[in-house]
């Protein structure tokens, strides 16, 4: 699915990986908030992020959990419960793809409220699209949009990618490509 760096839906239901990817870079997260992006999660995602037992969390995981807890205390990444209708949608989606409850609940809740789902899982994006939900976005798309809009500058690219990698997150090559796409889009939009 190709991204358009000139457009980004501001209200997003984030799955677990996207929560970690957005929070992995303080600079990216700060720019997103300054651009009035809002992120919420389902109770399933909150459970996966903060409650689900882990053998021995890495220092990066522990830091990301701290960041999420702190952000939720400030009113960000609000958790929403799924109702019976959402659970039925999740069951229907579950029969179509092998995805976790976090991704499924995020897609179902985004469909219910008519907002974007932000997921860095290719199968989840495809399922959202196949289910008729056109508002599927990625962290890389967010990054490219912030570059395109001038909310992040060229020097921020290195900072965002370094912060992301320091939290042991895997999107560096996609962020590089998203950066190039944003510059190309900006060039193409000039009169």
pLDDT at 96: 59
pLDDT tens for 58-104 read 999 999 999 999 999 999 999 998 766 666 666 666 555 677 888 88
pLDDT at 142: 98
**Looking at 56-112, which runs of residues are DSSP E strands?**
78-80
* pLDDT-above-90 percentage for the chain: 74
Contact 28, 163 (CB under 8 A): yes
Taking each helix axis as running N to C, give the angle between helix 16-23 and helix 139-148, from 0 to 180 degrees, rounded to the nearest 10: 40
176 DSSP β-pair partners: none
pLDDT at 93: 63
**Looking at 112-171, which runs of residues are DSSP E strands?**
116-118, 136-137
Domain 11-138 is of which CATH architecture?
A: 3-Layer(aba) Sandwich (3.40)
- Taking the C-alpha atoms of residue 115 and residue 111, their distance in angstroms, rounded to an integer, is 7
Sites in the chain below the pLDDT cut of 50: none
pLDDT at 132: 85
């Amino acid at each position: 699915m190709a991204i358009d760096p000139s457009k980004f839906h501001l209200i997003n239901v984030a799955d677990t990986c996207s929560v970690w990817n957005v929070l992995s870079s303080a600079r990216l997260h700060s720019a997103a908030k300054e651009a009035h992006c809002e992120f919420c999660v389902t109770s399933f995602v909150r459970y996966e992020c903060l409650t689900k037992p882990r053998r021995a969390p890495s220092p990066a995981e522990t830091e990301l959990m701290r960041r999420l807890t702190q952000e939720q205390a400030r009113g960000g990444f609000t958790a929403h419960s799924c109702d019976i209708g959402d659970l039925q949608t999740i069951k229907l989606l579950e029969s179509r793809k092998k995805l976790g409850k976090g991704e499924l609940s995020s897609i179902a809740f985004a469909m219910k409220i008519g907002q974007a789902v932000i997921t860095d899982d290719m199968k989840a994006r495809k399922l959202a699209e196949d289910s008729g939900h056109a508002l599927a976005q990625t962290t890389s798309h967010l990054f490219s949009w912030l570059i395109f809009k001038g909310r992040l500058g060229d020097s921020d690219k290195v900072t965002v990618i370094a912060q992301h990698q320091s939290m042991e997150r895997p999107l560096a090559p996609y962020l590089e490509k998203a950066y190039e796409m944003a510059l190309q889009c900006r060039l193409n939009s000039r009169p």
